[in-house]
């Protein structure tokens, strides 16, 4: 019922027969008329009406008022019907292969035998509407990858002219032509098409609506709008990670410094205790002597110098001299 047929009488052939253009959709029904004006009011019982394709294969024959399948080619058997009111033959379940020219013939069986009365040619074009284009993401949208998506549409005929993408932002619409990839179904001869788009995310926005358009000879088919949003989430994630790493590094550094400081401090204390110990001994020893002297104490396993300076002043007033030894 949804079938729309447009018929144009385009030319009158030199033979006087009319040629007519007929259109049908794939898998639907084609009307192939025979525009014979029966001015003499000849009854169908005296007429032979039949249709042939380009290869002279018979699609349908009405012989003296009765359908006669004997001459009908097997590929057309069961696919045709005839409307006696307007002399139109209908071809059902139209395939892409059915496109081409068809001829109807009208012969009159009179007393003197068969007489050719009429003949006309129809050109049948077959169309299939491409499916609504569908957009799919090829990779998630990030600032680095930009917009990377594909659009596909299937089961159409004939080939589309082009596929393009409309990128709509708040203030502008930019059109990008896609590189079309076409494949054909060997069996049905229908086409599947796809195109991909890979563009940087437009500046100054984080919200772009993409619409894919498939252009055919007769029409433009639009995909549903596909919203792409540049999420800032990738950036904060990185920043959080960075902050975390830096924090951990700083904390570790502080801990290491603290431990080292503690260690050094402890060792210093220990050394000072050692020094203090040795100094006491020295003082004891020294105090037994009655000499002024300075002792330098050097710790065994240390690069850091700890000094113990002990200075004794002789209480004997007859001190020869005040000497300092290092």
Ligand X SMILES: *[C@@H]1O[C@H](CO)[C@@H](O)[C@H](O)[C@H]1NC(C)=O
Residues found near ligand X in the complex (CB under 6 A): 2, 25, 27, 31, 33, 41, 43, 83, 85-86, 88, 129, 137-140, 145-146, 148, 170-171, 186, 198, 204-205, 207, 219, 227, 229
Residue 74 host element (H or E): none
Q: Are 126 and 102 in contact (CB under 8 A)?
A: no
Please say which residue, 17 or 231, places its beta carbon nearer to ligand X. Answer: 231
Please say which residue, 15 or 186, places its beta carbon nearer to ligand X. Answer: 186
Determine the 3-state secondary structure of 71 from DSSP: helix
Give the residue from 208, 99, 192, 49 showing the smallest Cα distance to 143. 208
Name the minimum Å distance from CB 147 to ligand X: 9
Name the minimum Å distance from CB 98 to ligand X: 14
Please say which residue, 231 or 310, places its beta carbon nearer to ligand X. Answer: 231
Name the minimum Å distance from CB 188 to ligand X: 6
Determine the 3-state secondary structure of 250 from DSSP: helix
Name the minimum Å distance from CB 38 to ligand X: 8
Name the minimum Å distance from CB 207 to ligand X: 4
b/e 8-42 (16+ beta carbons within 10 angstroms → b): eeeeeeeeebbbbebbbbbebbbbbbbbbeeeeee
Please say which residue, 174 or 254, places its beta carbon nearer to ligand X. Answer: 174
Please say which residue, 181 or 251, places its beta carbon nearer to ligand X. Answer: 181
How far is the CA of 147 from the CAs of 168, 228, 235, in angstroms? 13, 8, 17
Beta bridge partners of 9: 20
């Amino acid at each position: 019922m949804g079938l729309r047929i447009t018929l144009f009488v385009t030319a009158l052939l030199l033979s006087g027969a009319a040629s007519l253009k007929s259109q049908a959709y794939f898998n639907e029904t084609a009307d192939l008329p025979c525009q014979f004006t029966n001015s003499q009011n000849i009854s169908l019982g005296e007429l032979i009406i039949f249709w042939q394709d380009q290869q002279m294969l018979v699609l349908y024959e009405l012989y003296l008022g009765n359908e006669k399948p004997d001459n009908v080619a097997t590929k057309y058997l069961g696919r045709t019907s005839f409307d006696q009111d307007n002399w139109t033959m209908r071809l059902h379940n139209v395939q892409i292969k059915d496109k081409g020219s068809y001829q109807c013939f009208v012969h009159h069986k009179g007393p003197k035998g068969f007489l050719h009365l009429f003949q006309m040619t129809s050109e049948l074009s077959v169309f299939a509407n491409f499916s609504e284009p569908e957009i799919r993401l090829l990779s998630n949208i990030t600032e680095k990858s930009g917009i990377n998506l594909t659009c596909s549409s299937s089961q159409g005929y004939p080939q589309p002219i082009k596929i393009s993408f409309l990128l709509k932002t708040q203030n502008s619409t930019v059109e990008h032509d896609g590189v079309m990839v076409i494949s054909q179904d060997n069996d049905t001869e229908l086409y599947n098409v796809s195109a991909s788009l890979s563009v940087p995310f437009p500046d100054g926005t984080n919200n772009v609506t993409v619409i894919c358009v498939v252009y055919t000879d007769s029409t433009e088919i639009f995909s549903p709008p596909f919203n792409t949003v540049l999420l800032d989430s990738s950036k904060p994630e990185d920043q959080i990670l960075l902050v975390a790493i830096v924090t951990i590094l700083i904390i570790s550094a502080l801990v290491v410094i603290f431990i080292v400081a503690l260690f050094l401090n402890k060792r210093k204390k220990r050394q000072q205790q050692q020094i203090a110990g040795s100094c006491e001994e020295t003082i004891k020893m020294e105090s037994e002597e009655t000499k002024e002297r300075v002792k330098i104490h050097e710790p065994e396993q240390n690069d850091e110098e700890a000094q113990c300076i002990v200075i004794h002043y002789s209480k004997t007033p007859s001190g020869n001299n005040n000497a300092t030894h290092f």
